[in-house]
């Protein structure tokens, strides 16, 4: 581990030297690349330096213990009580920082929520999940923008696609992908029977143009007149846009803006991210052992969680985690749940990496 850390620090110092070169101002792409790498290495280098400082302090205090002076030995003993746990904590943090990073963790996301089995009840729960994530994102200080929305006839949402922008959004929400099951008594249920419905959540890392190169010749673009729930006209111009990526068959439609250009821009954002998602899934299948080690595979057919309203219970089936605070969860208080998922994944990754402490 420490050989790796020495190499990381050496690379960090090398980049710092290159960034101080005045001639780099004439090479903006190289400057951006080096700045990004420098930023990515900074946390691990700072923690390694903190670890090295703690280790030196511990060695110094241990020398005082055997120096023969009773007063200094007593002070050193007290110091060690605080320093040794800090050193252990720092070592564990370094182990985590050395794990291979998901290249998408820093990205913004497209959050897609779709009603599944259960008809109108599924659509109603879809709107509640949308509100849950919107509340959580607001508390994180993230930007939440709706790109596409399709309402159900009797309330609720058939589908919503939103862009979430902020610091490490994908790393926080990537384990939300999958099938969310709700168990409760619908308002229209006269006999008080509990119904089960499902909602699908997809979390797609935002794909920039540099991530996914799309040949315009591979696109079929259709325009049509926007319409809302129930078929009523939204406007009288052909502002809605449908884009088909011919090589993959991916189809995206967007009609929420009155401007055809804005709808096209939003549709292209969604299209790039869906193509990137397909590429991620293809790569993951080539590395099936790593994929199985992860908590969330992103598989939309995977039932990941149950929201049981009669019992006020939320259960995440992947890690056997249960909360009896469902009303708070539905208000967007999901930090404890997300932390549990992250901790579980990190523990599994540490085992895969062969760290005995894990």
Please give the domain boundaries of the chain with CATH numbers for all domains.
2-98 (1.20.58), 109-347 (3.30.70.1660)
Query: Two tokens at 49?
Result: 């330096």
Contacts of 105 (CB under 8 A, 6+ apart): 168, 170, 171, 174
The strand pairing partners of 314, in sequence order, are 307, 323
pLDDT of residue 86: 92
Do 246 and 214 touch, CB atoms closer than 8 A? no
Q: What is the pTM of this model?
A: 0.66
Do 284 and 291 touch, CB atoms closer than 8 A? yes
How many Cα atoms sit within 13 Å of 184 on the Cβ side? 18
pLDDT of residue 205: 86
Do 241 and 254 touch, CB atoms closer than 8 A? yes
Q: How far apart are CA 279 and CA 282, in angstroms?
A: 5
pLDDT of residue 47: 92
State the SS3 of the chain: CHHHHHHHHHHHHHHHHHHCCHHHHHCHHHHHHHHHHHHHHHHHHHHHHHHHHHHHHHHHHHHHHCCCCHHHHHHHHHHHHHHHHHHHHHHHHHHHHHCCCCCCCCCCEEEEEEECCCHHHHHHHHHHHHHHHHHHHHHHCCEEEEEEEEECCCCCEEEEEEEEECCCHHHHHHHHCEEEEEEECCCCCCCCCCEEEEEEEEEEECCCCCCCCCCHHHEEEEEECCECHHHCECCCCCCEEEEEECCCCEEEEECCCCCHHHHHHHHHHHHHHHHHHHHHHHHHHHCHHHHHHCCCCCCCCCEEEEEECCCCEEEECCCCEEECCHHHHCCCCCHHHHHHHHHHHHHHHHHHHCCCCC
pLDDT of residue 118: 85
| Widest distance between CA atoms in the chain | 92
Question: What burial class does residue 73 get, using C-beta atoms within 10 Å of its C-beta: 0-12 exposed, 13-18 middle, 19+ buried?
Answer: middle
Q: Is the dihedral of CA 292, 296, 302, 307 positive or negative?
A: positive
Q: Is the dihedral of CA 129, 130, 135, 137 positive or negative?
A: positive
pLDDT of residue 134: 95
pLDDT of residue 173: 94
pLDDT of residue 346: 82
pLDDT of residue 188: 67
pLDDT of residue 289: 47
pLDDT of residue 302: 63
Q: How far apart are CA 202 and CA 308, in angstroms?
A: 21
Strand 178-184 with 303-308, pairing: parallel
Instruction: Please list, residue by residue across 175-214, b when 16 or more beta carbons sit within 10 angstroms of its beta carbon and e when fewer do.
Output: bbbbbbbbebebeeeeeeeeeebbbbbbbbbbbeeebeeb
Contacts of 34 (CB under 8 A, 6+ apart): 15, 18, 19, 24
The residue with tokens 């110094």 is 60
pLDDT of residue 338: 94
pLDDT of residue 286: 53
pLDDT of residue 128: 94
In the chain the first and final C-alpha atoms are separated, in Å, by: 14
Over the chain (358 residues), the average pLDDT of each successive run of 10 is 86 92 87 86 91 92 81 86 90 82 83 90 93 95 89 86 90 92 82 88 78 78 68 57 85 79 82 77 55 39 86 94 95 94 84 61
Q: Within a 10 A sphere around the Cβ of 297, how many other Cβ atoms?
A: 17
């Amino acid at each position: 581990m420490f050989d790796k850390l020495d190499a990381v620090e050496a690379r960090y110092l090398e980049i710092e030297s290159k960034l101080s070169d005045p001639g780099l101002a004439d090479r903006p792409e190289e400057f951006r690349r080096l700045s990004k790498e420098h930023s990515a290495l900074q946390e691990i280098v700072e923690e390694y330096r903190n670890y090295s400082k703690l280790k030196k302090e511990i060695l110094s205090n241990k020398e005082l213990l055997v120096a023969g002076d009773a007063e200094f030995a007593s002070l050193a003993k007290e110091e060690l009580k605080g320093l040794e746990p800090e050193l252990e904590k720092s070592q564990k943090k370094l182990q985590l920082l050395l794990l291979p990073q998901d290249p998408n963790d820093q990205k913004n996301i497209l959050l897609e929520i779709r009603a599944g089995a259960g008809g109108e009840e599924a659509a109603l729960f879809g709107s509640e999940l949308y509100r849950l994530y919107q509340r959580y994102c607001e508390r994180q200080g993230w930007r939440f923008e709706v790109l596409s929305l399709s309402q159900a006839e009797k309330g609720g949402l058939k589908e919503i696609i939103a862009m979430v922008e902020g610091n490490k959004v994908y790393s926080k929400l990537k384990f939300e992908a999958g099938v969310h099951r709700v168990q409760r008594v619908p308002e229209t249920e006269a006999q008080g029977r509990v119904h089960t419905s499902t909602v699908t959540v997809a979390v797609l890392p935002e794909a920039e143009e540099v991530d996914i190169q799309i040949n315009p010749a591979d696109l079929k673009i259709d325009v049509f007149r926007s319409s809302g729930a129930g078929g009523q006209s939204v406007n009288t111009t052909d502002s809605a846009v449908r884009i088909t990526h011919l090589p993959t068959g991916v189809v995206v439609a967007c009609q929420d803006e009155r401007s055809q250009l804005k709808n096209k821009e939003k549709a292209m954002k969604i299209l790039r991210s869906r193509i990137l998602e397909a590429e991620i899934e293809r790569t993951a299948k080539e590395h099936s052992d790593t994929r199985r080690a992860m908590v969330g595979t992103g598989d939309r057919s995977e039932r990941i969680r149950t929201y049981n309203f009669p019992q006020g219970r939320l259960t995440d089936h992947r890690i056997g985690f249960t909360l009896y605070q469902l009303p708070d969860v539905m208000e967007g208080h999901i930090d404890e749940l997300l932390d549990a998922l992250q901790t579980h994944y990190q523990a599994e990754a540490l085992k895969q990496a062969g760290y005995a402490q894990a």
